[in-house]
Amino acid sequence: MRERGADTIPSVNREVTLPLIVDDRGTLQVTAADVSKLLRTVGARWLHLVEAGDDGLDEDTVAALTIELAKLADRIDVACIAHSSGGTP
């Protein structure tokens, strides 16, 4: 596999970089661990901004979105554990 570059996801005050890895057939390869970590990082960053008093963010909306991101990350983790153990989620 070779690294093709990096894609960034902008946040309010910083960027999270997710490496893009492409195999010899051109198929994009990103680890599930990287994706679930990214989802949790985005949610944590939003919560931090709300706690810091960012006026542009609605606390209830951020809380709901953060919960949904965490649920998605959990589903990815569970599916990967099931796959690696030979089971189904």
User: What is the phi-psi region of residue 59: left when phi exceeds 0, alpha when psi lies from -120 to 50, beta otherwise?
Assistant: alpha
Note the pLDDT of residue 29. 77
Whole-number pLDDT of residue 32: 84
Residue pointed to by tokens 């990103």:
30
Domain boundaries, given as residue ranges, for the chain: 2-84
| Separation of alpha carbons 11 and 17, rounded Å | 11
DSSP 3-state of 29:
strand
Question: pLDDT 10s digit of each residue in the chain, 89 long?
Answer: 434 444 444 444 455 555 566 778 877 678 888 889 999 999 999 999 999 998 888 999 999 999 999 999 999 888 888 877 776 55
Query: Bridge partners of 28?
Result: 22
